[in-house]
Structure 1
Amino acid sequence: MSDWMDKLPQAARDFIAGRRVDEVECIVADIAGVARGKAMPASKFAHQDRFFLPNSIFLQTITGEWADNPSGAFTEPDMILTPDYATASAAPWTADVTLQVIHDVLDQQGNPVPMAPRNVLKRILALYEAEGWRPIVAPEMEFFLVARNLDPNQPIIPPMGRSGRRAAGKQAYSMSAVDEYGKVIDDIYDFAEAQGFEIDGILQEGGAGQVEINLAHGDPVALADQIFYFKRLIREAALRHDCFATFMAKPIEGEPGSAMHIHQSVIDIATGENIFSDAEGSETPAFLHFIAGMQAHLPAAVALLAPYVNSYRRYVPDFAAPINLEWGRDNRTTGLRVPISGPAARRLENRLAGMDCNPYLGLAASLACGYLGLKEQKMPRPECTGDAYMSEDELPYNLGDALDLMADSAPMREVLGVEFCNVYEAVKRNEYKEFLQVISPWEREHLLLNV
């Protein structure tokens, strides 16, 4: 093995298994969570320790347009990208032996580029570390398998199952529903194993063709990397079987949306103990402070948890989406749920994030709210013991309002980084402006001849 191969994780070495590596994909996640970078022959990768990309990749919108640079001149200076070998992972769907490697993004002075989403998450973790804390997360990923949609003007429909019938909704936790597209699931398992990822479980969700994958708890950056990889992995598995996988928050009218539920706890670095539980196993004041921070600051973080106009279609009352800031024990109608657990695993589940969010930014935003709560040491509202779906509206229900709340929140801008917030807002306002120029079928149907 050459020197760089000695740095690879065991799963990547097992995938290579003595074969010649043909290609290495050098990638970073942009604002949307799309993989950007360069692919190169492995022989070239072996002889370079960095490559360059313009910083303008973080100003690109989901439609491929470019937002105005909020810092002024649009000179597109190069950033320095260096490989994080711990992230090296197989691309098992390719015809040849290909590896993917996530890269660290630095400026030419060697400082982390503040607009890079992975750096934003690392910034939040550094704030925790400075206090002697280490957050632990466990994400849940929901997504839809859908029939190929080649015409954006046509509605998205469920995929055809092995029975010859389209996948049916309202079959949550049904094993036979999962079996309908079992070959896709099999490939997801195989790809995940080749990439060294641990799946905690796969289940059928409430929507037609809607699947949930749970990941084991761990380090936030490592799990954000996994979700970043998983989205591509799942799409590739679906394409092998003549369907699409989509992580849109609300792809099908009349069906539930797809969330990225985030389970969060915090460890004391010195003792290794969960700061949410005391020596007797009871809830600590820190646990309640964390909840209070979520209640106080989540409205300013929604633009990161629900980053597109479609995201807000998921926030519909009584449609399996908690759209409130209430908290409760084992209560799935609350936006902030305390799952059943032992003292060591005491945690808070944030149920507001959509699966369309950039995983680095979704985790960063959620942990930022908890961090602010731990620092402010305030108490949350009383626990909700009933149906929280009936609670008052507290969250923004469109992207424009969410961006306004983020822009007006000094604490959120400070912890996430002002330069990042300015770039994120510029990108998202550009997308929102583009959307408002599109006339929808609803408008043509109901307004064309009636108003």
Structure 2
Amino acid sequence: MSDWTSKLPEAARAYIADRRIDEVECIIGDIAGVARGKAMPAAKFGKQTSYFLPNSIFLQTITGEWADNPFDAFTEPDMILVPDYSTATAAPWTADVTLQVIHDAQDQQGNPVPFSPRNVLRRVLALFEAEGLRPVVAPEMEFFLTARNIDPNQPVQPPMGRSGRRAAQKQAYSLSAVDEYGKVIDDIYDFAEAQGLEIDGILQEGGAGQIELNLAHGDPVRLADDVFFFKRMIREAALRHDCFATFMAKPIAGEPGSAMHIHHSIVDIATGKNIFSDPDGGESLAFLHFIAGMQNHMSAAIALMAPYVNSYRRYVPDFAAPINLEWGRDNRTTGLRVPISTPEGRRVENRLPGMDCNPYLAIAASLACGYIGLKAKQMPRPEFSGSAYIDSDDIPTNLGDALDLLEEDAALREVLGVEFCTVYDSVKRNEYKEFLQVISPWEREHLLLNV
């Protein structure tokens, strides 16, 4: 093996076995969480000392347009990409032996590029580490399998199952419903094994063709990497079976939306103990401070957890999505849920992020809110009992309002990085402005001849 292949994780080495590596994909997640980068022959990758991409990839909108650079003229200087060999994993859907390697972005002086999403998450984790703390997270991924949709003017439909009928809604936790598209699930398992990705469980959610995939708890950067890899892999598995996988927050009218719930706990590095629990096993003040920080700053962080105009269609009553920042023990109607657990496993579940989020940014923003609460020693509102599907001013109702709240929250901007927040605002304002220029079918149907 050459020097660089000796740095590969065990799963990647097992995938290669005695075969020759044909290609390496040098990838990095942009603001949307889309994989950008370049592919090259493995022989060239092994000899290359530097990899470059223009910093403008972080100014590209989801439609492919370019937002204004808030800091300098649009000269597109190169960033230096540094491979993180611990992320190297197979691309098992390709015809040849291909590896994917996530890269970190540095400027030409060797400093982390502040608006790279992976660097934003690392920045937040460094603040915890400076306090002697280490966050632990566990994301839950919800997504829809759908029939192929090649005409954006047509509504999205559920996929056809092996029975010859379209996937049915309101079949949460049904194993028969999962079996309807079992071949896609089989490929997801096989791909995950080849990539060394750990699945904690797969289940049917409440929507037609809606699946939830749970990941085991662990390091936030590694888990964000896993979600990043899973999104790409699940799409590839679906395409093999003539359907789409979508991570849109609300792809089908009348169906539940798709969330990326995030479970958080915080460990004291020196003792290895969960700071959310007192020595006697009760809830600690730190636990309440963390919740308070989320209540006080999540309204602004929604701009990163619900990053598109479609995201806000998920926040409606009685569709299994929270519409508030209340907290409660084992209460799924609250935005902040405290699941049943042992003292060692005590955690807070943030149910606000949509699955359309960039995992690095959603986890970073969620932890940032809790960090502010820990530092300020804030106290939360009283626990909410009963159904929290109530009118609430906690959650902005559109992307424009969410961006305004982020712009006004100086404490959150400081934790995430002011430069990043400025670039993020530029990209998202551009997307929102472009959306507002689109005339919808609803407007043509009800306004064209009636007003």
Cα separation, 2, equivalents of 1:72 and 1:29: 22
Query: Cα offset for 1:11?
Result: 0.2
- Kindly provide the amino acid, as one letter, of the partner of residue 119 in structure 1: N
What corresponds to 1:136 in structure 2? 136
Secondary structure at 1:31 match in 2: coil
Cα separation, 2, equivalents of 1:129 and 1:394: 30
Query: Cα offset for 1:87?
Result: 0.3
Alignment size in residue pairs: 451
- Kindly provide the amino acid, as one letter, of the partner of residue 29 in structure 2: A
What corresponds to 2:245 in structure 1? 245
Cα separation, 1, equivalents of 2:72 and 2:46: 37
Cα offsets for 1:80-115 (capped at 9, x unmatched) = 001000000000000000000000110000000001
What corresponds to 2:333 in structure 1? 333
Cα offsets for 1:1-48 (capped at 9, x unmatched) = 110000000000000011000000000000000000010000000011
What corresponds to 2:366 in structure 1? 366
Cα separation, 2, equivalents of 1:23 and 1:158: 35
Cα offsets for 1:388-426 (capped at 9, x unmatched) = 112523210100000000011100110010110000000
- Kindly provide the amino acid, as one letter, of the partner of residue 367 in structure 1: L
Q: Please show how residues 32-431 of structure 1 align to structure 2 within 5 Å.
A: 32-431=32-431
Q: Once structures 1 and 2 are overlaid, which stretch shifts more, 391-400 or 319-328?
A: 391-400
Cα separation, 1, equivalents of 2:104 and 2:63: 25
Cα separation, 1, equivalents of 2:303 and 2:403: 6
Query: Cα offset for 1:50?
Result: 2.4
TM-score with structure 2 length normalisation? 1.00
Query: Cα offset for 1:445?
Result: 0.4
Cα separation, 2, equivalents of 1:394 and 1:422: 23
Cα separation, 2, equivalents of 1:424 and 1:364: 14
Cα separation, 2, equivalents of 1:254 and 1:291: 32
Cα separation, 1, equivalents of 2:74 and 2:393: 40
Query: Cα offset for 1:319?
Result: 1.1
Secondary structure at 1:260 match in 2: coil
CA contact (8 A) 1:50 1:83 kept: no
Cα separation, 2, equivalents of 1:394 and 1:365: 16
**Unaligned runs of at least 5 residues, structure 2:** none
Q: State whether structure 2 residue 27 is matched by structure 1 residue 27.
A: yes
Cα separation, 2, equivalents of 1:381 and 1:132: 27
Cα separation, 1, equivalents of 2:378 and 2:200: 34
CA contact (8 A) 1:49 1:83 kept: no
Cα separation, 2, equivalents of 1:278 and 1:380: 18
- Kindly provide the amino acid, as one letter, of the partner of residue 91 in structure 1: A
Cα separation, 1, equivalents of 2:404 and 2:49: 41
- Kindly provide the amino acid, as one letter, of the partner of residue 107 in structure 2: D
Cα separation, 1, equivalents of 2:221 and 2:420: 18
Over aligned residue pairs, what C-alpha RMSD do you find? 0.5
CA contact (8 A) 1:49 1:82 kept: no
Cα separation, 2, equivalents of 1:254 and 1:271: 48
- Kindly provide the amino acid, as one letter, of the partner of residue 20 in structure 2: R
- Kindly provide the amino acid, as one letter, of the partner of residue 427 in structure 1: V
Cα separation, 1, equivalents of 2:334 and 2:50: 46
Secondary structure at 2:301 match in 1: helix
**Taking every aligned residue pair, what percent have the same amino acid on both sides?**
81
Q: Once structures 1 and 2 are overlaid, which stretch shifts more, 232-241 or 71-80?
A: 71-80
Secondary structure at 1:62 match in 2: coil
Cα offsets for 1:212-231 (capped at 9, x unmatched) = 00000000000000000000
Secondary structure at 1:331 match in 2: coil
Secondary structure at 2:317 match in 1: coil
CA contact (8 A) 2:125 2:134 kept: yes
Secondary structure at 1:320 match in 2: coil
Query: Cα offset for 1:385?
Result: 1.2
Q: State whether structure 2 residue 443 is matched by structure 1 residue 438.
A: no
CA contact (8 A) 1:138 1:262 kept: yes
Query: Cα offset for 1:168?
Result: 0.5
Secondary structure at 2:344 match in 1: helix
- Kindly provide the amino acid, as one letter, of the partner of residue 46 in structure 1: G
Cα separation, 2, equivalents of 1:444 and 1:316: 24
Cα separation, 1, equivalents of 2:244 and 2:22: 27
- Kindly provide the amino acid, as one letter, of the partner of residue 301 in structure 2: A
Cα separation, 2, equivalents of 1:63 and 1:415: 28
CA contact (8 A) 2:323 2:390 kept: no
Cα separation, 2, equivalents of 1:252 and 1:145: 11
CA contact (8 A) 2:324 2:394 kept: yes
CA contact (8 A) 1:83 1:103 kept: yes
Cα separation, 2, equivalents of 1:25 and 1:392: 45
Secondary structure at 1:344 match in 2: coil
Cα offsets for 1:119-145 (capped at 9, x unmatched) = 000000000000000000000000000
- Kindly provide the amino acid, as one letter, of the partner of residue 289 in structure 1: H
CA contact (8 A) 2:202 2:214 kept: yes
Cα offsets for 1:287-321 (capped at 9, x unmatched) = 00000000000001000000000000000111110
Cα separation, 1, equivalents of 2:289 and 2:261: 20
CA contact (8 A) 2:147 2:159 kept: yes
Cα separation, 2, equivalents of 1:274 and 1:137: 12
- Kindly provide the amino acid, as one letter, of the partner of residue 296 in structure 1: N
Cα separation, 1, equivalents of 2:381 and 2:420: 31
